[in-house]
Amino acid sequence: MERKQMSPLEELRHSTAHILAAAVLRLWPDTRLDIGPPTDTGFYYDFDSSTRFTPEDLEKIEAEMNNIIRENQAFVRSEVTREEAIAYFTDRNQPYKVSRVGDIPAGEPISFYQNGEFIDLCAGTHLRYTKQVKAFKLLSIAGAYHRGDEKNAQLQRIYGTAFPSKTELQEYLTMMEEARKRDHRKIGKEMGLFTFDTDQVGPGLPLWLPKGTAMVEELERLAKETEFAAGYQRVRTPHLAKESLYLTSGHLPYYKESMYPPMEFEEDEGGEKVKYYLKAMNCPHHHKIFDAEPRSYRDLPLRLAEYGACYRYEKSGELMGLMRVRSMQMNDAHIYCTEDQFGQEFRAVNEMYLKYFEIFGIKKYLMRLSTHDPEKLGQKFVDEPVLWKKTEEMVRRVLVESGINFVEVPNEAAFYGPKIDVQVWSAIGREFTLATNQVDFAVPARFGLVYTTRENTRETPLCIHRAPLGTHERFIGFLIEHFAGDFPMWLAPEQVRVLAITDEQSEYANHINQSLRQAGFRSTSDHHKDNIGGKIRRGRMDRVPYLLIIGNKEVESGTVTVRSRLNGEEGAFYFDSFMERLHGERSQRKLTVQL
Amino acid sequence: MERKQMSPLEELRHSTAHILAAAVLRLWPDTRLDIGPPTDTGFYYDFDSSTRFTPEDLEKIEAEMNNIIRENQAFVRSEVTREEAIAYFTDRNQPYKVSRVGDIPAGEPISFYQNGEFIDLCAGTHLRYTKQVKAFKLLSIAGAYHRGDEKNAQLQRIYGTAFPSKTELQEYLTMMEEARKRDHRKIGKEMGLFTFDTDQVGPGLPLWLPKGTAMVEELERLAKETEFAAGYQRVRTPHLAKESLYLTSGHLPYYKESMYPPMEFEEDEGGEKVKYYLKAMNCPHHHKIFDAEPRSYRDLPLRLAEYGACYRYEKSGELMGLMRVRSMQMNDAHIYCTEDQFGQEFRAVNEMYLKYFEIFGIKKYLMRLSTHDPEKLGQKFVDEPVLWKKTEEMVRRVLVESGINFVEVPNEAAFYGPKIDVQVWSAIGREFTLATNQVDFAVPARFGLVYTTRENTRETPLCIHRAPLGTHERFIGFLIEHFAGDFPMWLAPEQVRVLAITDEQSEYANHINQSLRQAGFRSTSDHHKDNIGGKIRRGRMDRVPYLLIIGNKEVESGTVTVRSRLNGEEGAFYFDSFMERLHGERSQRKLTVQL
């Protein structure tokens, strides 16, 4: 039972979900229904049926749904008493619906929505008629537990989507088809970027293969250069700490379920048992580094950066490629600053985002600024009314002044300060949550962090948590889809491949390859027994940005014939001038790719 | 009771330990004695005494030892029965000695050594007369448990050393005095390189501060460049794995005591409990990467490198600064190769060592080649007689041909192959164990690693474990002593500092500083209210390799006056030409330091 005011698109999709349930009941009248809410990209409905739905069943259901739409049934709301609702669903052998009635708090209205013969427990809202559904599609069937709990019955979830027009639906389906082709797990395997060893290493713990590691290290180099220029200082901290640290930070007990369980041992033989936890976040360790020496206003802003590996426990069923993992390496930093410095620091963080978007050819993004609700100070939000107002005002101003695309979401800030979620869209138009910026009023105080002011008083600094490149795992997952594996040269695992036309030129080809490697380029040379056509095909398939073709003509003239992924056959260049071009493209991190 | 054949130096030191015990008994006759073996740098003797020994007591004891030496007592060996030995020490209230008699296996001779009135249970060997001890010194008192077990009584351990001549003793004492001045914990704190937070993070888990992190990252850059040029491929693996991996590798149960205890949880709700361990070594993860795809002879040698963070459990009492830690980041790599490739691969590893020694100005080193004993094949050593002979022969030949300084130690190889321990000496002549190279016949087979040969058969590769730069922790600890904190410019945490003579020049000074930072140099500018003399002194104290002094003359002429740590005042240079020099020194990793 969904209780939020729905947007027009949600209303459309939720109504389509009702039509889906009605169609399933017509086809399999003994089906028991659970719930059918809209989602970000469509809708689903959960069914308990003795029939195991097949893809062919989806076609049958779609046909029946089209009947219902043609019948142009009205959606009619009615209010019932709790007893009526329970009696209605009990009579019809709908135990999940009975259970859902129990979720509705006493005093709230209980409403039914009816279209044709179908009645659902539902808070609404809905379309007026079924014919308003003009473009829908059922997409897939998956298992789902009642109330998401593995202890409950497993249901069959049918996913679908609906759009206001057939054109929009078709665009979405095309995008999803393209997303399937660009699936990061598929391309990651083809390109040898990463692997999992579920049996012996463990699920959700990626092993980065040499080619994936090359990308990870390029991203780190980018971040380190960018952060050095922006006055960050790098630190390194261990991957674990005593329970005590996480009690101070508040991760224990509030975040305990997302952490690996502790390692427990006697610190000294016969001594007390101590628990150590793997770190799920880098903040507590960075706070310790802030606190490692006395700080004065002269030290601020202090910007501590670390590509820290964090470990979080996710249920194995919820793991998904690089997108949902248990180990992740974050492009993390914490900026400790005074209130006066906050605006400028926050602006600089935003500018860093925009710079990265440009480097990666990310054209569409959105920042969601979550703010506090003044009526919930002291409960949902830390009781610092002046600081909230001031900080949110500054954040808002900076976002506007920097021309940042953002929306404001009231009442969704974190307990300890406003936060900014950054959404980006891949080249094919799919949305990803990249990272969160977080202003933190509260935790520095929990750690007793202070600095001496110019007036020799002691103040608690503000702290900005930021991670513009997110985690290696998620960001590379995104980049694989975004570029379909055709990464810009600076980032590509294999940047150049040298192809000799015959064995005659292999010495010169090796020399070219070695020169490239000495200049730090990830170059190889193709030694397969194969004609040049085969070698070029393999180079394209392996997504190498530059293929250098070496025949007798090239050997004689000291040239290379360049075949680039972006422009195809480009003709012959003196090797030195080609190297110069490569150096330029690498140091400027040119996109060298069609998006 | 020591049972090894002693070297002349060990004999000298062990005899001095007997003289120490004899002197203590003369001064405090009720003292109970435990043992007094020689060590690498001297000797000790463990005492249980009601007197708490003070530094003044050490002087008294030394005086009495000199008496015993002057008395020129003979060391006389005699054999006794077990009953006689037990009766002798029981009568004299020497319970630890009685306990030590129990350690001697049945059938082995039990011997006493007597000098003057003093008789000790001792396997020998010894000098002939006490006057042969010509140069000794007692150094310190420390606590030590009987048999190293915290459950036993705590004893007082008196450390001392002895040398064949007074000159050698004096040289040693001078070196130790210099080592104290260069103590990596002291200099590390002064320079802000690292810190520990025993309370909340945990003992033995260093937090690298910004300046230490700069050094860590320079070392990594060096290793990555060197290894890229040598055809290594980098990988990244998680810091933990399932129990199953360590059962296959043999770490469990054999290495379990040195590992952190497991994290245990249900992989899926209601499922079986699974144990995860933090990795103590990177090898098992690398083996998994070897095994992630089918390998052929074309893929070999495959050189997988990772600066992997490992975690080992050490008793908190045994932790010591960066030298004995619980978290360590190793310059690790595993080379998988055929038998035919082994010689060349091993040679290349040695050459990498020699290159590093040159970069760091390490003038004295020694490789200890530990080989197998053919009589212990199948027991102490894996039963591969041909492979042992062949590999050891190859290792030996490569060491000789590369002009490597090495000694051979029979019967001390690892179970699964010959190993090479690399010892280096710091600039003040102190010995450090840097790293171990290990040839591995056995573990690749345990993991079922195979490659397809040219003839289409399946073979198990050899594996070379190597880590020429050891761990960041130990290597930086060594470098701090070696350079006394005066690191070469390329490695120094702060490379350049710009000092304006008065506020008038601060704009130009800032411009110089920013230009240096844009070129990636770790440069700062000194903004203290202070005269130039004070700024220079602070720059020297902070061990900054280059101080650039900016007065009006420099502003007018676009120059900087250079004061280098190596040469002192060098005069004025055009800024551009000084930058060029810095670029050259950095890219060549010049030593720029007096050792």
Contact B235 A315 (CB under 8 A): no
Per-residue pLDDT, averaged over A464-492, amounts to 97
Whether B77 and B124 have beta carbons less than 8 Å apart is answered as: yes
Quickly count: other Cβ atoms within 10 Å of residue A96's Cβ.
Answer: 20
Give A159-186 pLDDT, tens digit per residue.
Answer: 999 999 999 999 999 999 999 999 999 9
d(CA A587, CA B61): 69
Q: Choose from A149, A201, A332 for mutation: most chain B CBs within 10 A.
A: A201
pLDDT value for A268: 76
Whether A524 and A516 have beta carbons less than 8 Å apart is answered as: no
Give A268-295 pLDDT, tens digit per residue.
Answer: 767 789 999 999 999 999 999 999 999 9
- Phi and psi torsions of A494, nearest 5°: -120, 120
In this complex, is the C-beta atom of A148 within 8 Å of any C-beta atom belonging to chain B?
no
What's the pTM value of the predicted model, to 2 decimals?
0.90
> Reduced to 3 DSSP states, what percent helix, strand and coil does chain B have, rounded to the nearest 5?
40, 25, 35
d(CA A523, CA A546): 9
In this complex, is the C-beta atom of A198 within 8 Å of any C-beta atom belonging to chain B?
no
Residue A569: both structure tokens together: 């056959």
Q: Tell me where in chain A the CATH 3.30.980.10 domain(s) lie.
A: 8-164
Query: Which chain A residues have a beta carbon less than 8 Å from that of B281?
Result: none
How far does the CA of residue A476 sit from the closest CA of chain B (Å)? 14
Q: Considering CB atoms only, which of B200, B237, B269 is closest to A242? A: B200
d(CA B548, CA B530): 16
Query: Which chain A residues have a beta carbon less than 8 Å from that of B261?
Result: 263-265
The DSSP element (H or E) to which B569 belongs, if any, is strand B568-574
Contact A217 B238 (CB under 8 A): no
Q: Which residue carries 């990463």 as its tokens?
A: A194
Give A4-23 pLDDT, tens digit per residue.
Answer: 578 999 999 999 999 999 99
pLDDT value for A3: 47
Whether A584 and A488 have beta carbons less than 8 Å apart is answered as: no
Of the listed ranges A438-447, A465-474, B152-161, the least confidently predicted one is A438-447
Whether A16 and A39 have beta carbons less than 8 Å apart is answered as: no
pLDDT value for B571: 96
Torsion (CA) A262, A263, A268, A272 in degrees, nearest 10? 40
Query: Which chain B residues have a beta carbon less than 8 Å from that of A520?
Result: 225, 228
> Dihedral sign, CA of B209, B212, B215, B217?
negative
Residue B83 CB contacts under 8 Å (≥ 6 apart), including other chains = none
d(CA A440, CA B52): 53
Query: Which chain A residues have a beta carbon less than 8 Å from that of B212?
Result: 236
d(CA A455, CA B139): 50
Confidence of residue A379 (pLDDT cuts 50, 70, 90): confident
Query: Which chain B residues have a beta carbon less than 8 Å from that of A242?
Result: 199-202
Burial of B63 (0-12, 13-18, 19+ CB in 10 A): exposed
The DSSP element (H or E) to which A173 belongs, if any, is helix A166-181
Give the strand pairing for A406-409 and B263-266.
Answer: unpaired
Residue A529 CB contacts under 8 Å (≥ 6 apart), including other chains = none
In this complex, is the C-beta atom of A41 within 8 Å of any C-beta atom belonging to chain B?
no
Query: Which chain B residues have a beta carbon less than 8 Å from that of A288?
Result: 197, 200-201, 207
Contact A240 B192 (CB under 8 A): no
Confidence of residue A296 (pLDDT cuts 50, 70, 90): very high
In this complex, is the C-beta atom of A131 within 8 Å of any C-beta atom belonging to chain B?
no
Q: Choose from A236, A244, A266, A513 for mutation: most chain B CBs within 10 A.
A: A236
d(CA A591, CA A564): 13
CATH topology of domain A8-164: Threonyl-tRNA Synthetase; Chain A, domain 2 (3.30.980)
Q: Considering CB atoms only, which of B265, B269, B317 is closest to A150? A: B269
Contact A315 B269 (CB under 8 A): yes
- Phi and psi torsions of A473, nearest 5°: -60, -60
How far does the CA of residue B121 sit from the closest CA of chain A (Å)? 30
Q: Which residue carries 């008192």 as its tokens?
A: B141
Angle of helix A472-483 relative to helix A184-191, nearest 10 degrees? 90
Q: Tell me where in chain B the CATH 3.40.50.800 domain(s) lie.
A: 496-588
Angle of helix A339-359 relative to helix A210-229, nearest 10 degrees? 140
Q: Which of A392, A466, A41 is nearest to A232 (CA)?
A: A466
Contact B240 A278 (CB under 8 A): yes
Whether A120 and A21 have beta carbons less than 8 Å apart is answered as: yes
Q: Which of A363, A323, A343 is nearest to A185 (CA)?
A: A323
d(CA A374, CA A81): 36
Q: Considering CB atoms only, which of A192, A205, A304 is closest to B238? A: A205
Query: Which DSSP string corresponds to B318-344?
Result: G-BTTTB-SEEEEEEEEEEE-HHHHHH
Contact A263 B265 (CB under 8 A): no
Query: Which chain B residues have a beta carbon less than 8 Å from that of A205?
Result: 238, 240-241
> Dihedral sign, CA of A182, A183, A184, A187?
negative
In this complex, is the C-beta atom of A221 within 8 Å of any C-beta atom belonging to chain B?
no
Query: Which chain B residues have a beta carbon less than 8 Å from that of A248?
Result: 200
Query: Which chain B residues have a beta carbon less than 8 Å from that of A287?
Result: none
Query: Which chain B residues have a beta carbon less than 8 Å from that of A261?
Result: 263-265
Inform me whether the pLDDT recorded for A106 exceeds 50: yes
Q: Choose from B152, B222, B224, B240 for mutation: most chain A CBs within 10 A.
A: B240
Contact B208 A235 (CB under 8 A): yes
> Dihedral sign, CA of A499, A501, A503, A508?
negative
Contact A207 B261 (CB under 8 A): no
How far does the CA of residue B295 sit from the closest CA of chain A (Å)? 13
Superfamily of B194-483 according to CATH: Bira Bifunctional Protein; Domain 2 (3.30.930.10)
In this complex, is the C-beta atom of B202 within 8 Å of any C-beta atom belonging to chain A?
yes
Q: Tell me where in chain B the CATH 3.30.930.10 domain(s) lie.
A: 194-483
Q: How far apart are the first and last CA of chain B?
A: 41
How far does the CA of residue A518 sit from the closest CA of chain B (Å)? 7
Q: Which of A456, A460, A296 is nearest to A384 (CA)?
A: A460
How far does the CA of residue A227 sit from the closest CA of chain B (Å)? 11
Give A204-242 pLDDT, tens digit per residue.
Answer: 999 999 999 999 999 999 999 999 999 999 999 999 999
Give the nearest chain B residue to A279 (CA atoms): B201
Contact B316 A234 (CB under 8 A): no
Q: What's the DSSP call for residue B282? A: S
pLDDT value for A4: 56
Quickly count: other Cβ atoms within 10 Å of residue B398's Cβ.
Answer: 20
Give A139's Cβ-side CA count (13 Å radius): 21
Query: How many contacts, defined by CB atoms under 8 Å, are there between A and B?
Result: 192
Strand stretches in A535-594, DSSP E: 546-550, 559-564, 568-574
Contact B233 A210 (CB under 8 A): yes
Helix (H), strand (E) counts: chain A: 18, 27
Interface of A with B in 247-286 (CB under 8 A): 248, 260-265, 267-270, 274, 276, 278, 284-285
Q: Which CATH class is domain A496-588?
A: alpha beta
How far does the CA of residue B458 sit from the closest CA of chain A (Å)? 21
Contact A261 B260 (CB under 8 A): no
H runs (alpha helix) in B466-588: 472-483, 506-518, 532-541, 552-557, 575-587
d(CA A103, CA B252): 50
Q: What's the DSSP call for residue B132? A: G
For the question of an ipTM over 0.95, the answer is no
Interface of B with A in 516-575 (CB under 8 A): 517-518, 520
Inform me whether the pLDDT recorded for A1 exceeds 70: no
> How far lies B336's CA from each of A522, B265, B426, in Å?
21, 34, 32
pLDDT values of chain B reduced to their tens digit, one per residue, 595 residues: 334 578 999 999 999 999 999 999 999 999 999 999 999 899 999 999 999 999 999 999 999 999 999 999 999 999 999 999 999 999 999 999 999 999 999 989 999 999 999 999 999 889 999 999 999 999 999 999 999 888 899 999 999 999 999 999 999 999 999 999 999 999 999 999 999 999 999 999 999 999 999 999 999 999 999 999 999 999 999 999 999 999 999 888 788 889 999 999 988 767 789 999 999 999 999 999 999 999 999 999 999 999 999 999 998 888 999 999 999 999 999 999 999 999 999 999 999 999 999 999 999 999 999 999 999 988 888 888 998 998 899 899 999 998 899 999 999 998 889 999 999 999 999 999 988 899 998 889 999 999 999 999 999 999 999 999 999 999 999 999 999 999 999 999 999 999 999 999 999 999 999 999 999 999 999 988 889 999 999 999 999 999 999 999 999 999 999 999 999 999 999 999 999 999 999 999 999 998 8
Give B146's Cβ-side CA count (13 Å radius): 16
Q: What's the DSSP call for residue A74? A: B
Per-residue pLDDT, averaged over A103-107, amounts to 91
How far does the CA of residue A205 sit from the closest CA of chain B (Å)? 6
pLDDT value for A148: 86
Whether A36 and A131 have beta carbons less than 8 Å apart is answered as: no
How far does the CA of residue A375 sit from the closest CA of chain B (Å)? 36
Q: Considering CB atoms only, which of A206, A269, A315 is closest to B150? A: A269
Q: Which of B156, B154, B169, B112 is nearest to B20 (CA)?
A: B156
Contact A208 B237 (CB under 8 A): yes
Contact B207 A264 (CB under 8 A): no
Query: Which chain A residues have a beta carbon less than 8 Å from that of B238?
Result: 201-202, 205-207, 309, 327
In this complex, is the C-beta atom of B319 within 8 Å of any C-beta atom belonging to chain A?
no
Where b means 16+ CB within 10 Å and e means fewer, A190-212 reads ebbbbbbbeebbbbbbbbbbbbb
In this complex, is the C-beta atom of B311 within 8 Å of any C-beta atom belonging to chain A?
yes
Give the nearest chain A residue to B260 (CA atoms): A263
Query: Which chain B residues have a beta carbon less than 8 Å from that of A515?
Result: none
